[in-house]
Amino acid sequence: MTEAPGPAHHVSVRRPQRADARRNFDALLGAAREVFAEEGTSASLEEVARRAGVGIGTLYRNFPTRQDLFETVYVDEVEALARRAEELTGLEPWAALVAWLRQFVSYATTKRAIYEALNRDSAMFAACREIMYSAGRPLLQRAQADGQARPDVSFEDVLRLISGISGSAYSDDEQRERVLTMALDGIRPRA
- Comparison of pLDDT for 156 and 11, the residue scoring more: 156
Per-residue pLDDT tens over the stretch 3-36 = 444 444 444 346 777 888 889 999 999 999 999 9
Question: Hey, which CATH number is domain 65-191, 3.50.50.60, 1.10.357.10, 3.40.30.10, 1.10.287.180?
Answer: 1.10.357.10
Longest dimension (CA), the chain: 59
Please tell me whether residue 4 adopts helix, strand or coil conformation: coil
So where are the chain's domains?
14-64, 65-191
Nearest CA among 88, 126, 119, 124 for reference residue 104: 88
Same fold, 14-64 and 65-191: no
89-112 residue pLDDT tens? 999 999 999 999 998 988 887 787
pTM above 0.85, yes or no: no
- Of 73, 81, 69, 138, nearest to 106 by C-alpha is 81
Q: Which CATH number is associated with domain 14-64? A: 1.10.10.60
State what percent of residues in the chain have pLDDT above 70: 92
CB 79 within 8 A of CB 131: yes
DSSP 7: G
